[in-house]
Chain A
Amino acid sequence: MIIHLDMQSEVPIYTQLEHQIVEGIAGGKLQPGELLPSVRQLASDVGINLHTVNKVYTRLKQEGYILVHRQRGVVVNPEGMPSATSEFLEKQAAELRPIIAEAILRGMSRQELTEIMEQIYTEIALPTKEES
């Protein structure tokens, strides 16, 4: 998968990296069991500090999206992704709240907001995921 990073964005690189990998797995561009570059290799290719990449991989590992083996390297979790646990739903709600609040503040209707969510969902998700 080809990761695109905006080096001059206000959004920090580690956040962009994390989002790109999550989106990659969600959209099927990164398959379960697929190899990801090692911390050192990815840091070298992007040109950022090892600790930054480590931070990203650690977070993704904690969520259960990737596995980090000393010898075998980094892989996308071959046993599939964790489901939407109550813990996750709480965190998601907290992350969505400011986005929705700002939308209301700017006078967006419920309809408009839903349409945007649908559009992005379609853009990202695998066709098979929608059917199930």
Chain B
Amino acid sequence: MSSSEKRFIYADNAATTRISADVLDAMMPYLTTEYGNPSSIYALGRNSGFAIEEARAKVAKAIGAKPGEIFFTSCGSESDNWAIKGTLARLAPKGKRHVVTSVFEHHALLHTVQNCGYDYTLVEVDEQGLIDPQKVKAAIREDTAIVSIMFANNEIGTIQPIAEIGKICHEAGVIFHTDAVQAIGNVEIDVNEMNIDMLSLSGHKIHAPKGVGALFCRRSMIPKNLIDGGGQEGAHRAGTENVAGIVALGRAIELATADIPKKVARVSKLRDKLIGNILKIEHTRLNGDPVQRLCGNVNISFEGVEGESLLLSLDNEGICASSGSACTSGSLDPSHVLLSIGLTHEVAHGSLRLSISEDTSGEDVDYILEKIPPVISRLRAMSPLWERIKAAEK
């Protein structure tokens, strides 16, 4: 294969996304001329207030909810924290002091549950990264306050049977929350059809800026406040609104959910081309389910290679990606997600996540596929672990 000119390829859309020009245009007035505080009585303030309500309606429409069920927050993590902590604070006095979640949730959920001081059960996932709804059912107790299962996993992209899990929760009379930060714009979501009571989402994963998120919550289940103060968001979430961010989120979610089947059809084709071709390299494995998978997610382990050096090598080729290796997580252990689906530490250290988007072109995919094999060969050639793997084969 002839070597092409160095390009810049952003393949880390599960980490964050580019702010789209359309979204930037929509939010710009609220960073410049429309700076009024939405709580103010005069026209300048009212303009901001109207803009927020317009955005609220857009977010609601995107997931089949009512505007009154949408509360703006600062990010997905805040939404997760609020849903769990606020629900426990509300229901613990009524004897509901237990949470059911899964072992491979995002840390925003997992650490919240582990640190909140209440009882919890972590449901295991299978080797493909799928959750069996019956296991959720078995984990629900008399005193369960809330079940929280992520819609789609951020690392390996598996999409869970959310409607079925929601049905089980409702039959048991338990609140069902889902972290849909990765799913929004990639999966069609209807909170009513899918039996969802609470849902966390974030702007910066769908081409809005960082610093804005939302929690969908049924009116009868609003958690106790996480942030007290003024009367913003119906007195449920204090703090002067991030007007520009909220407007951006409204526009971004409108764009992201406009034609999901079309996006999924196009992007999953590119994803499958990446997966099929990368798996031709020996001693590799796909992490996560091949079918029940986010359209932009590729997660592959390369035996004998360490993830961070793989990322640095790809960065040298202009490719931005991420890994579940310990070195990139800042801890000794590799990703809890990869360990939860049964990978050994050795194999988990050598994982690569590429997350492509509607911005990714066929040429981008070809470029990535041209650059990965020599990078892997180079790192394996200097790896004593690879030497051992090859020696064991003989």
A complexed with B: no
A residues in contact (CB < 8 Å) with B: none
B residues in contact (CB < 8 Å) with A: none
